[in-house]
Amino acid sequence: MQSRQSRVLLATVVMANLLQGLDLTITNISLATIAGQMSATLNEAAWLLTAYVVGAALGLPLTGFLNDRLGRRNLFAGTVAGFTASSLLCGVATTLPMLVLARFVQGFFSAPIAPIGNAVLAASYPAERLPTVMSYLNMSMVIVPIVGPAVGGYVTGEFGWRWLFLANVPIGIGIVLMALRFMEETPRAQRLMDWTGFVVLAAALVSLQLVIDHGNDKGFDSPFILACAFTLLAAVAMLIVHYASRPAAPILGLAALRDRNYVLALFAVIPFSIALWGGQVLQPFLFQQQYGHTPVDAGLLLMPRALGALASMYLYSRIAARFSASAFLLAGGAIASVGCVWMTQMSPDMTGQWMIAPLAVQGVGLGLIVTPIVVMAYVTLPKELAAEASTLYFLVRTVASAAAIGAMSAYTTHGFDYYWGEMRALIDALSPAANIYLAPLGVAPESPAGAAVLAAVVQKQATMAAFIDSHWVAAFATIALLPLALALRADSRQAAH
């Protein structure tokens, strides 16, 4: 591939990933604004997030089938075009149901963008250049969840929430034109559609997402969540039976699972998602609720994490050929663990600025992890398996990321409830500690004002204790990457050269 064409191709894939990734994260910060203008509650507006992820869950399993039937270039350009058109529909929506439907369509078209983009690069570049290429692509994955809230808050405040979607239109059109001009087409192949597998897998993914998104607020023992959980278990059982019957053209090809590096990469995605997305859920809330920063300020304070990741990914792209993939995973896991453990030393008396250093260390570690995982997933695979392998890889990554977000949110909430109950029982109006604390304020412990002050202190302490526990979970997740890196050692040189 000529140098200019390869650079434009890489830029096209990176821009497409940035476009769809930003659209998922920037909307979170604007839910309250959208709810107010649509005369809806915040819980009703939260369906905008669910609709997008459910749409993506339905679209992702179709990627391999559509890649064969339409060709890689047509599928990539078509999905970006569909994403762009649905973004326009989101921007002009006048009711919440219309906006939710448009978000569902947007999520559906977004699903193939990342796996097909990865497959394009994996098939277009030789193995020795793959680490460098994937580093540039993965920079977008790491930076998006960090800058997304700041960008979303700024655009919503300055131009209105509709421009979160309308801004996608000219960018999307440009990406489509570049893809049609510079992306090579692959031969089309006749392939049967595994409708049974698709329906069962879609039922499993949608029910799982509903449990993750709404289990915490509706209650995991609510009839709705229990019905979703039953559907999930039944769908998984049916999927096992379906694959055991050896369908002629399964909805998800599993041939890539014969590759040892690829399987290790799938396992590594799980703890990495907990560390990346779990922390990403916690930290903006921590900055805003605990330390009182605005959404834009919170996004800026999170930038050291992104800058650390970008710096280490750039370093990886320059020295990848000198060291094995396992060496980078070991170094990244150790550094990220230090950053996560450092975060557990925070206290309510500190400021948000204190977290800049541990966030930067955390970012450096995560940046050294993300690209070796992707490289080891693809580098030893036959190129004809790239699309199928990419679909399964991104399905695992999507499910792991969603599960990490839901699990960390639920764990933090339940941790707060636990510490709130424990701490509240220790402080009352007759407590010497309460009298000592309130004396400088001139407030009596038994007065309503005194009770309010004590409740606020307990709430702040309980919140901080819950966040500290959750960062320990992130630390253990990064530590879990270390044995996976050691298991890769036998094949790691293949991933580096």
Domain shared by 279 and 239, yes or no: no
- Could you tell me if 227 and 368 lie in one domain? no
178 and 59 fall within a common domain: yes
Residues 313 and 186 in one domain: no
Separation CA 315–CA 262 (nearest Å) = 24
pLDDT, tens only, 320-360: 778 877 888 889 999 999 998 998 888 877 777 788 899 89
pTM score: 0.74
Domain shared by 20 and 37, yes or no: yes
For residue 315, give the CATH number of its domain. 1.20.1250.20
Q: Say how far apart CA 264 and CA 485 lie, in whole Å.
A: 9
8 and 114, same structural domain?
A: yes
Residue 106 · residue 90 · CB < 8 Å? yes
Q: Are residues 301 and 326 in the same domain?
A: yes
Q: Which of 228, 250, 272 is the last residue of a domain?
A: 250
Considering the domain architecture, whether residues 336 and 425 belong to the same structural domain is answered as yes
Q: What's the number of domains the chain is made of?
A: 3
Between 436 and 85, where is the model more confident?
85
End position of a domain, from candidates 192, 216, 238:
192
Q: Is residue 12 within 8 Å of 183, Cβ to Cβ?
A: yes
Range of the domain at 460: 256-497
Instruction: Identify the burial level of 352 via C-beta atoms within 10 angstroms of its C-beta, where 0-12 means exposed, 13-18 middle and 19 or more buried.
Output: buried
97-131 per-position pLDDT tens digit: 999 999 999 999 998 898 888 788 877 777 677 77
137, 154: one domain: yes
In 3-state terms, what secondary structure has residue 78? helix
- Please indicate, yes or no, whether residues 287 and 401 belong to a single structural domain of this protein: yes
Q: What pLDDT sits at residue 188?
A: 78
Per-residue pLDDT at 145: 67
Closest CA to 454 of 422, 429, 418: 429
Tell me the average pLDDT across 67-95: 91
Last residue of a domain, one of 171, 192, 213: 192
Q: What is the DSSP string of 315-349?
A: HHHHHGGGS-HHHHHHHHHHHHHHHHHHHTT--TT
Residues 242 and 263 in one domain: no
Q: 293 and 412, same structural domain? A: yes
Q: What is the share, in percent, of the chain residues with pLDDT greater than 90? A: 14
Give the count of beta carbons closer than 10 Å to the beta carbon of residue 415: 19
